[in-house]
Structure 1
């Protein structure tokens, strides 16, 4: 099982919600530098709301494959099937790939990838980064140590958590 926590050293450019805004994503690279020269951490919410969710997520995943030690992607709440089925990503796939088997297959594949993304990152052993609060029931240990849930590989899914599998 992949880790729900990723750790790396600064310096890093930390970027918030993209929400399908492809031109904004390109502007980030124009202003902050290209990923092969600079480290990036994206905090989630790549899809939904904007018109170009597909371009955004495909580019981000390609950059992650090309620069795995310089490019980090966290899971936001829109990288959950229940959310991206309602807020535009599924509709974008249907519009572009109207055959039900095509869009359904793509939607499932992207959500499978999203489910493997870490929930949090620790930069230089000091800075905890995540899209938003961790959702789920916390033990007392997890409440006092925000990284405890991710260090023991707890799985979080829209209000329910379970350790292990």
Structure 2
């Protein structure tokens, strides 16, 4: 089985993400917040938008190094952190411990991760209130948030 955190531009697309809309939204958000839109940052987000499966920071940097005018490693890492902190990137945890990122829109999202091709699909909504309340009552833990990822096979991989 291949690792779900290895990115390949030819992997299954993320059906819920319109790449151009994501790029335009990130640029607009950066303009609203006063973050400078530099050529190196644009190269980073354009490369991120081209991925069709979760990617690591090192994978992104390595892919950017194959072109001229490579952004610095610090720019790549800072851009990833800024995008993640503002909700434009989701951190995906693979079934065997690896970690990667996928572009998304800000909000409370959860993810389906294909264990065969690595495709990630976002979905909204979770009806976990009863479970979270029960766990909090049983443990005395004050739940402040949660992360939900489901692993399985996408429709495309099930058909093959």
* TM-score normalised by length of structure 2: 0.29
Structure showing greater Rg? 2
State the TM-score, normalized to the length of structure 1: 0.29
